[in-house]
Amino acid sequence: MLKETFVRLITLLLCAFALIWTRAQPVAADGLTIEGDTFPLSPHLEFLVDDSAKLTIETIPQQPSSNWFKVKDETPSFGFMEQVLWARATLINSTPEQKRFLLEIAFPPLDNVQLFQLNRNDLLYQATVGDTLAFSARPFDHRNFLLPITLQPEAQDTIYIRVQTGGALQLPVTLWEPIHFFLHDQYALIINSLFFGIIFVMAFYNLLLFIRVRDTVYLYYIGYVSTFYIYQLIGTGLGFQLLWPNALLWNNYCSAIILPLNIVFVALFFVRVYAVQNTHPKTHRLILVIALLALTCMLLPFFISYHVAIISSVALVACGGALALWVCYYLWYQNPSRTNMYLALAFSVFLAGAVVLALSKLGFLPRSPLTEYAARIGACIEAILLSYALAERLHEARIAAENRTQKANEKMLNLAHQHAATLEEKVALRTRELEQALQQVHSLNNSLKDLSLTDQLTGSRNRRFMDEYLAREIKSARRNKQCLSIMLIDLDHFKQVNDTYGHAVGDLCLKVVSDTIANNLRQPPDEVCRYGGEELVVILPNTARSDAKQVAEKLRVCIESLNIQSEEQLVHVTASFGVSCFEPSTELSPTQLLQEADRALYQAKHSGRNRVVFAEREN
């Protein structure tokens, strides 16, 4: 079935070419005297089809007049044409003044357009534009092809236009005086802005509905409207001008990708809005087949020529549109609801506009503002009607849901009232009990955790905390490229203190020294931890070697100046410091850093005690 449809489409295309050729008549070149602010050049163009694509600007003027022909339409349309098309016109400036014009080719999808201006055999001007070239290569930053033409006083110049494209070929050519062109262009921009604004508002409105009701039918509608929006941006040239001026690969393939993607969203929209998978399984399978074919067509431009890919996409759009129209009216006939009525009318209006535009592109209808804007007008009306349909669908679903739940609610209402008070009281009681239990557990957990990380003698952090904190801070210093210093502190002659004054005094000295160190540190992030016995460790995050030296010396002096009172006796203690510094350029582990500090402490002990020694590191 699909193969037969494709063959029929190809036959229609061939008939279009035949119709064009039957309207073409051989002509002789005549000069055109340019008068007025605007001069439509398309009806006066003479055309030549270059099947071999070998003609150049040097050889094209030598072609006999019998090879050139004219097309009766106001805007020549040649359908999908792979051959090179040449157009020419002779322009006459009969005034004694130089005239400057803008030559506009108002069909942005053309792949490659070359303009040549000749005076007899002298090439006066040459330009190349097209949607396969970078947008910055254009003489003017405009969505259409805009080229400057200068006619010298009382001169007669011939212009040649060479066109080659993989898609539909139309050649609406107009000569403008610059100021009048830009005045006219403002109205065109207003119309485009109005169209794109309506489509954007409809898409955004349904996006809000999707966010609110979480029904995928709105998401599929947004996809359908958005892909049509993008396709119109492609067709008007605004996409290439404003959104992807440097994305040539995307600009070359986007039409053949967006068209099938639009069909995919239409298929998903129909499946969801009509729920045909349960009520009409055959229709459901047919819609899915169209969707799968559309996904396949999206990949065609990467494996076959763009010309064949775009024809395949157009054929699929035609088949999908016919199927959509049939489904709309068939299901409306079976279920004459307001939702189905709006859906049928919406797709009817849009397809009517799309058919008019397609017939214009294929050359069956002359190009005019009506044919150019037919699909956009239809799309705007369709978007509004579809929004009405989705709103009506939501309304109908809400009424049905209300009717289904009303009886159940009435039955449950009395029972709910009876149990509400009791349930609320029980819930409140259980909630209070649970909150109290959670608070107790949280408090106990915090106490246990704090006890597990605290040294019971000194009240400072213990060895377990030190291992975890040092490892974490070294990782942070390495990640942030910061320094970190540690001090290993040992009380001098601590055994003599224990032997002379007793262990109770020794414990008191250890606690006083620990408190003195803690009071002279930054808290946080500096931490003092008991390492074992009479040894303490101080961790100084974000502290370089020079700063660590100052801190260590300050702590040493503070410890040396302590007067520890114990049973009417004053006890004096001193301490030795071994300091090691972690730097971002090193790869030291916590264990290696502690080993360096321990070696420095050993050196301090053997150098006379009561001093600060830094670990020396070999390069």
pLDDT in tens, 244-271: 998 888 888 888 899 899 889 988 888 8
Q: Is the pLDDT of residue 63 over 50?
A: yes
Examine the domain organization and report whether 202 and 103 are in the same domain: no
Domain boundary among 397, 421, 444: 397
Q: What is the pLDDT of residue 144?
A: 93
Q: Which residue has the higher pLDDT, 156 or 367?
A: 156
Q: What is the pLDDT of residue 361?
A: 64
Examine the domain organization and report whether 241 and 375 are in the same domain: yes
Q: Is the pLDDT of residue 103 over 90?
A: yes
Question: How many domains is the chain partitioned into structurally?
Answer: 3
Asked if the bond preceding 108 is cis, omega within 30° of 0, the reply is no
Instruction: Report the CATH number that the domain containing residue 136 is assigned in CATH.
Output: 2.60.40.2380
Q: Is the pLDDT of residue 305 over 80?
A: yes
Region of poorest pLDDT, from 143-157, 394-408, 474-488, 527-541: 394-408
Q: Where are the beta strands (DSSP E) in 420-558?
A: 484-491, 527-532, 535-541
Q: Which two tokens stand for residue 288?
A: 């899915």
Q: Is the pLDDT of residue 116 over 90?
A: yes
Q: What is the pLDDT of residue 266?
A: 86
- Please tell me the number of Cα atoms within 13 Å of 9 on its side-chain side: 22
Q: What is the mean pLDDT of residues 70-75?
A: 80
CA 172 distance to own-chain centroid: 35
Instruction: Round to whole Å and give the CA distance between 84 and 53.
Output: 6
Instruction: Round to whole Å and give the CA distance between 515 and 289.
Output: 80
Q: Is the pLDDT of residue 75 over 90?
A: no
Examine the domain organization and report whether 189 and 172 are in the same domain: no
- Helix (H), strand (E) counts: the chain: 15, 21
Q: What is the mean pLDDT of the chain?
A: 83
pLDDT in tens, 204-254: 888 888 888 888 888 888 888 888 888 888 888 889 889 999 888 888 888
Domain boundary among 397, 431, 448: 397
List, in order, residues 6 or more apart from 284 with CB less than 8 Å away: 271, 276, 277
Q: What is the pLDDT of residue 618?
A: 60
Domain membership flag for residue 380: yes
Q: What is the pLDDT of residue 353?
A: 80
- The three-class DSSP label of residue 244 is coil
pLDDT band at residue 125, thresholds of 50, 70 and 90? Answer: very high
H or E element at residue 176: strand 173-176
Examine the domain organization and report whether 169 and 207 are in the same domain: no
Residue 151: beta bridge partners?
A: 99
Give residue 532's domain range: 463-614
Region of poorest pLDDT, from 5-14, 208-217, 515-524, 588-597: 5-14
Domain membership flag for residue 49: yes
Q: What is the mean pLDDT of residues 187-204?
A: 84
Q: What is the pLDDT of residue 20?
A: 36
Examine the domain organization and report whether 65 and 212 are in the same domain: no
Examine the domain organization and report whether 232 and 354 are in the same domain: yes
Examine the domain organization and report whether 474 and 589 are in the same domain: yes
Examine the domain organization and report whether 283 and 190 are in the same domain: yes
Q: Which residue has the higher pLDDT, 400 or 8?
A: 400
- The three-class DSSP label of residue 91 is strand
How many C-beta atoms lie closer than 10 Å to residue 97's C-beta?
9
Q: What is the pLDDT of residue 602?
A: 92
Where does residue 270 rank: exposed (0-12), middle (13-18), buried (19+ CB within 10 A)?
buried
H or E element at residue 93: strand 84-93
Domain membership flag for residue 604: yes
H or E element at residue 595: helix 590-606
Q: What is the pLDDT of residue 158?
A: 93
Domain membership flag for residue 373: yes
Q: What is the mean pLDDT of residues 5-16?
A: 38
Cβ atoms of 200 and 229 closer than 8 Å: yes
pLDDT in tens, 475-530: 999 999 999 999 999 999 888 888 888 888 888 889 999 999 989 988 778 899 98
Examine the domain organization and report whether 112 and 204 are in the same domain: no
Domain membership flag for residue 124: yes
Domain membership flag for residue 2: no
Q: Where are the beta strands (DSSP E) in 469-586?
A: 484-491, 527-532, 535-541, 564-566, 569-571, 575-582
Residue 107: beta bridge partners?
A: none
Q: Which residue has the higher pLDDT, 6 or 576?
A: 576
Instruction: Round to whole Å and give the CA distance between 453 and 248.
Output: 64
Instruction: Round to whole Å and give the CA distance between 128 and 111.
Output: 10
Residue carrying the six token digits 């239809």: 378
Q: Is the pLDDT of residue 86 over 90?
A: yes
Beta-strand relationship, 569-571 and 173-176: unpaired
Examine the domain organization and report whether 280 and 303 are in the same domain: yes
pLDDT band at residue 19, thresholds of 50, 70 and 90? Answer: very low
How many C-beta atoms lie closer than 10 Å to residue 47's C-beta?
21
Examine the domain organization and report whether 298 and 350 are in the same domain: yes
Domain boundary among 127, 143, 176: 176
Examine the domain organization and report whether 149 and 199 are in the same domain: no
pLDDT band at residue 30, thresholds of 50, 70 and 90? Answer: low
Instruction: Round to whole Å and give the CA distance between 419 and 415.
Output: 6
Q: Which residue has the higher pLDDT, 609 or 369?
A: 609
Domain membership flag for residue 402: no
How many C-beta atoms lie closer than 10 Å to residue 585's C-beta?
6
Q: What is the pLDDT of residue 145?
A: 93
Domain membership flag for residue 524: yes
CA 509 distance to own-chain centroid: 66
Where does residue 46 rank: exposed (0-12), middle (13-18), buried (19+ CB within 10 A)?
buried
H or E element at residue 415: helix 369-452
Instruction: Report the CATH number that the domain containing residue 582 is assigned in CATH.
Output: 3.30.70.270
Cβ atoms of 524 and 456 closer than 8 Å: no
- Write the secondary structure of 108-148 as one string of H (helix), E (strand) and C (coil): CCCCEEEEEEEECCEEEEEEEECCCCCHHHCCCCCCCEEEE
pLDDT in tens, 352-371: 887 787 777 666 777 677 77
User: Kindly report the CA angle at 301 between 172 and 141, in degrees rounded to 5?
Assistant: 40
How much is the pTM?
0.57
Q: What is the pLDDT of residue 253?
A: 84
